[in-house]
Amino acid sequence: MSNHPIPIIEARGTYREVGKQIGEQCKPQIARMMSQLHESLPPGKTWDMLVNESRIFQTHSRAVYPQYMDELEGIAEGANVPFDELFISMLEELWETPPYGKGCTDMAARGRATLDGSTLVAHTNDLSAKTEEDLVILKIQAGDEPEFIGVSAGGVGISAGYNAAKISLTGNQLNSNDVRHGVPRLLVVRAILGAKHLSEAMDACLLKERASSYNNIIADGTGEVYSMEGSATDLEALYIEKDVMAHANHYTHPAMRRFELDRSTIANSIIRHNRAEYLLKENYGKLTPDLFKQLLADHGGYPTSICKHGFNSVTVFSIIVQVETLTAWIGRGHPCETVYTEYKLEPYQAMSL
């Protein structure tokens, strides 16, 4: 299965038109995703309770991102799913831990750390194994935004990608103790991929109305790389040090550690984070896209390694982005088994310097 590229879904037009095209092309994936959500309700919650609570998140989201709500309404229409129900799939905040067992490892390098001085961002995405069949690659141009390529489970929320304005977005699941009603973090990810420059992407991460936050790793075509380690109510912008960066699924900045939901559960994340840092240091000055393909396949700490063959989650895809050249390599399944496919975007013409 890993040798077959993830199917690509292309859509262009207004936000609602783009959404409808996605929904029509992702009907089977969305139907399976909704079925899985019905089967994994949080303790003490009914589906009707989730629908009612989701409307509070909708109100916040419409006030901040009406264009992306239009896009989601288009997806619901195209997939023939009630919008209230589809929107629940954007709300990881309603589960204490995400229903898909999310996890991931990120590595970034630039300048002296890479062989040619380019900026490279590498990411593994860990979900439940059955999610792999629902993966799609979205190639989207909505409104006046830069075209982007993003990897998505079911075509609704996006896990990682980059856009034609040379903004890259990868990152890591964090479980914080201050989750609240607000704009869901998956909608913030969509806003980052719509950004025309780095400060717009950073503004999205800092959104004061956010309900929670990933650790969003954002990079641009000038070699700037930030790890935006956030919770619902606080955030530290960690700048790349000595041209390399690694991150997994726990808070690393001293000011953010108090937001960790349960420090007894982060051992695996600590191991992957440290292993990624070690690999970056060991290969300093030699890093290339092909070398990163090997590093993403690393089995240090197996089975819950960077290339994860774990229990609750496994690596279902990996991505390497060379930001300056607008090139990405994406592979489905375990990095140790996959064949990567190359993708390219044309530069965003309206990008301001």
pLDDT of 310: 80
Residue range 124-137: average pLDDT?
95
Q: Express as a percent the part of the chain with pLDDT over 70.
A: 96
Inside any domain, residue 340? yes
pLDDT at 122 over 60: yes
Residue range 147-155: average pLDDT?
97
* The two structure tokens encoding residue 250: 């726990």
Inside any domain, residue 122? yes
Inside any domain, residue 225? yes
Residue range 107-131: average pLDDT?
97
pLDDT of 177: 96
pLDDT per residue as tens digits for the range 200-242: 999 999 999 999 999 999 999 999 999 999 999 999 999 999 9
Q: Is the dihedral of CA 74, 78, 80, 85 positive or negative?
A: negative
Q: Are 260 and 268 in contact (CB under 8 A)?
A: no
Inside any domain, residue 147? yes
Residue range 73-81: average pLDDT?
98
Inside any domain, residue 277? yes
Residue range 280-297: average pLDDT?
98
Distance from C-alpha of 103 to C-alpha of 175, rounded to nearest angstrom:
11
Inside any domain, residue 120? yes
Distance from C-alpha of 136 to C-alpha of 155, rounded to nearest angstrom:
6
Inside any domain, residue 81? no
Burial class (CB in 10 A: 0-12, 13-18, 19+), 300: middle
pLDDT at 352 over 50: no
Q: What is the CATH number of the domain that holds 132?
A: 3.60.60.10
pLDDT of 184: 98
pLDDT of 95: 82
pLDDT per residue as tens digits for the range 17-56: 999 999 999 999 999 999 999 998 998 999 999 999 999 9
CA-to-CA separations, 217 to 89, 166, 348, in angstroms, rounded: 22, 14, 21
pLDDT of 97: 60
pLDDT at 256 over 50: yes
pLDDT of 1: 43
pLDDT of 351: 44
DSSP per position, 200-254:
HHHHHHT-TTBS---EEEEEETTS-EEEEEE-SS-EEEEEPBTTEEEE-SS--ST
pLDDT per residue as tens digits for the range 191-202: 999 999 999 999
Is residue 170 within a helix (H) or strand (E), and if so which, with residue range?
strand 167-172
What range defines the domain where residue 162 resides?
100-344
As a whole number of Å, the end-to-end CA separation of the chain is: 42
pLDDT at 100 over 60: no
pLDDT of 99: 47
pLDDT of 96: 66
Inside any domain, residue 218? yes
pLDDT of 175: 95
Verdict on whether the full-model pTM lies above 0.75: yes
pLDDT at 2 over 70: no
pLDDT at 92 over 50: yes
pLDDT at 349 over 90: no
Burial class (CB in 10 A: 0-12, 13-18, 19+), 27: middle
**Backbone φ and ψ of 187, nearest 5°:** -75, -30
SS3 9: strand
> What's the angle, vertex CA 203, arms to CA 21 and CA 94, rounded to 5?
60
pLDDT at 247 over 90: yes
pLDDT of 98: 54
Q: Express as a percent the part of the chain with pLDDT over 90.
A: 92
**Single-letter amino acid code for the residue at 348:** Y
Q: What's the total number of domains in the chain?
A: 1
Least confident of 35-44, 168-177, 328-337: 35-44
pLDDT of 3: 66
Distance from C-alpha of 92 to C-alpha of 54, rounded to nearest angstrom:
11
